[in-house]
Copies of this chain bind each other. A is one copy, B any other.
Amino acid sequence: MTVHDDAVRHRETVLGLWAACQDRDWTRYADHFAPDLVCDIWQTRELVRGRADWVRFNAEYPGDWRIEVVRVVTDGDGAVSWVRVHVGDQHMTGVSFFTFAPDGRVSRIDDHWPEPYDPPAGREHLVERY
């Protein structure tokens, strides 16, 4: 396998796991992850250990959410996805860094879920607000 083959395979894995999540197909979703998966959720300083709990974490996530994949970048070593999760008129941003086991399953996720906040003062001369 070349670096490019691995990057293509990682892209398919990332798109596949988000599609399975959107479909609430938790058996198919689980198959994208190594049994000893660790997910580190940085902003809330939470660790989820093991595929079973990770699948429950997602299956139990409240609300009638819809996932929009904005962008996926992959290389031979890993992958990143940027998603928007829409729940009614609430829109969340998620950025996930994926690490892969040799068999191609995801072995680690570093998850960032940034929330909106106001900019610090002092840079108004350089920016446009929207």
Q: A residues touching B (Cβ–Cβ < 8 Å)? A: 2-4, 7, 41-49, 53, 56-57, 60, 62, 71, 73-75, 77-80, 82, 93, 95, 97, 110, 112-119, 122-123, 126-130
User: Which one of B44, B45, B126 contacts A57 once the chains associate, using CB atoms below 8 Å?
Assistant: B126
B57, A123: Cβ atoms closer than 8 Å: yes
Other contacts beyond A45-B130, A60-B126, A93-B112: 11, CB < 8 A: A43-B117, A46-B128, A47-B128, A49-B128, A57-B127, A60-B122, A60-B123, A73-B74, A73-B79, A73-B97, A112-B112
Contact residues of A: prevailing secondary structure = mixed
B123 touches A97 (CB 8 A): no
- B53 x A126 contact (CB < 8 A): yes
Which 3 interchain pairs have the tightest Cβ spacing?
A: A114-B114, A44-B119, A46-B127
Q: With a CB–CB cut-off of 8 A, which chain B residues contact A123? A: 46, 57, 60
Distance in angstroms between the alpha carbons of A27 and B80 in the assembled complex: 30
Closest to A40 in B: B130
- CB neighbours (8 Å) of A47 from chain B are 127-130
Contact B7 A56 (CB under 8 A): no
Which residues of chain B are near A48, meaning CB under 8 Å? 126-128
